[in-house]
Chain A
């Protein structure tokens, strides 16, 4: 086993997979949204007064009158040159649109994921180490309950309690820092369970390993065994989960952002689905998929560094 150094062939192979996946996403991205029934331009006509000629003109302006294949070629050419087109609805450049929504999403989902991961891992370590203790069973059950609670419902409850009944926080929006508290709380509560559960089961598994018995036999104290031998080994699966979650941050949190009127990527996606805004949907989907693919790639490589077994296999 060559330890330590990063195997370049391994990295290249992983990078190849990542690029292939991205190419696949690029193609799917185009057709996926066009399978949805309806016509984005015609949907405008119902609520506004648009003559048939004006509708036709709109279609022409956005190239929607071209055959699908021609549209696909144009889409590929533009995407590969970094242009994601303009929104069919607002006429704003999709890149600008996504950039303007990126900060709120990174803030909300980033802080939420970070909190959930830190707290979840701590709960998992403690619960898994003292399996069957009162802490373990209570945290396990609450993790399961929180994990299986629909986040939108949880969000609504928090909103009604803290913004409605107690009036401590604003009822939504990005207008003040206080507005971040409730959506972050809803997100963290929803996510904390998965980290706790994964970390816990991994701790239980590691605890049964011979090297733990050996460490105990050497006379190490219980906290030292846990800190030095159990946690570093048990944290590996959770590490992957965290890195992948970081990739998912850019996808936003559609439900939570909608419940709290949070102007992030999730809300943008929700609005674009409602209006069949193809370029926006494609842009968001592409950016968030690319982020996940990149995160998975990093997780692969980093895992390879941390755990040589992966590289070997």
Chain B
């Protein structure tokens, strides 16, 4: 084992040698953020994962942005938009003096170009914000007119579309999306506070400060997103000071994070919510959901028998809030907070009484019988393995419903399997998740009859609800629309086609001794890293105690914005490619091992050869 010891010692030595120049290289201020979701393609039109959205949000502006306060429309590249009397022409005043990161002026034509490009190419995440037949006029550099054939809320939704420079992207007009997604984009030309200069696939993205940014100057010269595919490793990195912020921590690791000195934990009112959906059938002629679940009294009794607080405590370690309506609280403006006295209470006795009254008597084994079909109330309720907490929630629900004489088979399955079930209708209920826009239209629409066969979970069909959703979509007055949106949420809550079980919080933690000034968006329990806005990272600055993370980012020489750059460089911290160090280490180890072995066999060999 001597050889093994030597080998390990050599590796350690080589590694620490290599690490020395790395530690000395920190000069500029760098903010390093640990992420757990892969980042793959820096091209804005290929964005997909939450980390990629974050990266794009850090670099680009929208015409009207999500307000930092409550995510409603707020001035950004446009200082404001005014409709004509019938809401078919919106005239937007574009901010003067804004330039792209390569020094080219940003005008209304860039915005019109972006919108036309998005519509013509049909980029999936962006194209849904434009009413049919939208056209754009640019009477001058600082005016954009958005014309729609029908009255619309146009820019005020706001359109979640990032404005790109026409002079960079116009050569791609008419190309296929495949070609556009493979266009080289580094360094980015954008208008936000930072531009991406380096992308190391599957490991890190580096952003440099945009010298032409039109807003307040950010404090950090450089921001690095670093990928951790192992949550424990990210927490260790936060503890060691290798990163200043850890984004997207699992609730199970919260105690470990809270034990780190100087750590501040933000529990974010998250985007997604955990949903128990009932199936009403009709997706497929063969779909045969449990009849009893079509009975609203049974669904209400189930809702009454579920202790949502217990789910929050056990499935989410308390890092969540009990679910209420289908518009999650992050949509601060639209979410309906149901008053305590109108909440369906956790009341198993009341639930039992409801079912007794509805005629679902208990059989010999204690399981209730459907009076119409004679079937036992046994619910097939798989849980999806891509939904954190759903497996434990499923087990808890099985035990809750046992108390009211309903048997539940809660088998965890893959998200793909759940999708197949949703398409075929071959399930009684399932636990999955939803995530949507700040604007409620999308989330409301997935519960309509029209969504059956597409996005609807269990093909609930309710004309009253459909009418409410249609009405809110056509209502242009914001206050009137808000009233209808709230009515729709209350209606779903009462009819129970689905039970929002929990609003899990996303966890972000940062070292308050290293970074300060982070600003939640939306205000209160919002995101600290770019999700809807870059504000937090513009306000962020090194804490006075001195510091930035101990391990610096790879340098990737601060490229002149706008200068063409062929391929992202992959260099180690000291400028020498990592693999050179590693190869050297490996060769040293092998040589050492061979020398030791040879010397030993020579020593053992007698002279009588």
**Residues of A near any B CB (own CB < 8 A):** 36-39, 42-52, 54-55, 57-58, 61, 86-87, 89-93, 97, 100-101, 103, 107, 110-111, 114-115, 118-119, 122-123, 139, 156, 159-160, 163-164, 167-181, 184-185, 188, 192, 219, 221-224, 227, 257-261, 263, 267-268, 270-271, 276
User: Contacts A46-B415, A46-B432, A114-B586 hold; do A263 and B227 have CB atoms under 8 A apart?
Assistant: yes
- B residues less than 8 Å from A171 (CB atoms): 228, 233-234, 236-237, 240, 242
One of B45, B178, B203 near A175 (C-beta < 8 A): B203
Instruction: Tell whether, in the assembled complex, residue A87 and residue B40 are in contact, meaning their CB atoms are under 8 Å apart.
Output: yes
Instruction: Tell whether, in the assembled complex, residue B585 and residue A175 are in contact, meaning their CB atoms are under 8 Å apart.
Output: no
- A residues less than 8 Å from B609 (CB atoms): 221, 224
Which one of A49, A57, A123 has the highest number of Cβ atoms from chain B below 10 Å of its Cβ? Answer: A49
Instruction: Tell whether, in the assembled complex, residue B416 and residue A170 are in contact, meaning their CB atoms are under 8 Å apart.
Output: no
23 CB contacts below 8 A, A to B, read A39-B419, A46-B415, A54-B122, A86-B178, A89-B48, A90-B48, A91-B177, A91-B181, A97-B201, A103-B570, A115-B586, A122-B593, A163-B236, A172-B230, A173-B228, A175-B204, A177-B585, A180-B581, A180-B585, A181-B12, A188-B7, A223-B604, A259-B229
Chief secondary structure at chain A's binding surface: helix
Q: Which of B175-206 contact A (CB under 8 A)?
A: 176-178, 181-182, 200-204
One of B416, B435, B442 near A43 (C-beta < 8 A): B416
Interface size class of B (residues with CB under 8 A): 35 or more
- Stretch of B15-23, B148-156, B503-511 lying at the A interface: B15-23
Complex Cα distance, B49 from A118, in Å, reads 42
Q: What's the nearest-Cβ distance from chain B to residue A138, in Å? A: 8
Q: Which of B1-55 contact A (CB under 8 A)?
A: 1, 3-4, 7-8, 11-12, 14-16, 18-19, 22, 38, 40-41, 43, 45-46, 48-50
**Residues of B near any A CB (own CB < 8 A):** 1, 3-4, 7-8, 11-12, 14-16, 18-19, 22, 38, 40-41, 43, 45-46, 48-50, 122, 124-125, 127-128, 176-178, 181-182, 200-204, 226-230, 232-234, 236-237, 239-240, 242, 272, 414-417, 419-420, 423, 432-437, 442, 451, 454-455, 551, 553-554, 570, 572-573, 578-579, 581-583, 585-586, 589-590, 593, 597, 601, 604-606, 608-609
Instruction: Tell whether, in the assembled complex, residue B455 and residue A45 are in contact, meaning their CB atoms are under 8 Å apart.
Output: yes
Q: What's the nearest-Cβ distance from chain A to residue B47, in Å? A: 9
Instruction: Tell whether, in the assembled complex, residue A49 and residue B437 are in contact, meaning their CB atoms are under 8 Å apart.
Output: yes
Q: What's the nearest-Cβ distance from chain A to residue B20, in Å? A: 10
Instruction: Tell whether, in the assembled complex, residue A178 and residue B19 are in contact, meaning their CB atoms are under 8 Å apart.
Output: yes
User: Contacts A37-B420, A38-B420, A90-B48 hold; do A160 and B601 have CB atoms under 8 A apart?
Assistant: no
One of B43, B203, B417 near A173 (C-beta < 8 A): B203
- B residues less than 8 Å from A260 (CB atoms): 230, 233
One of A57, A90, A107 near B582 (C-beta < 8 A): A107
Complex Cα distance, B604 from A227, in Å, reads 12
Complex Cα distance, B419 from A36, in Å, reads 12
Instruction: Tell whether, in the assembled complex, residue A178 and residue B18 are in contact, meaning their CB atoms are under 8 Å apart.
Output: yes
Instruction: Tell whether, in the assembled complex, residue A90 and residue B40 are in contact, meaning their CB atoms are under 8 Å apart.
Output: yes
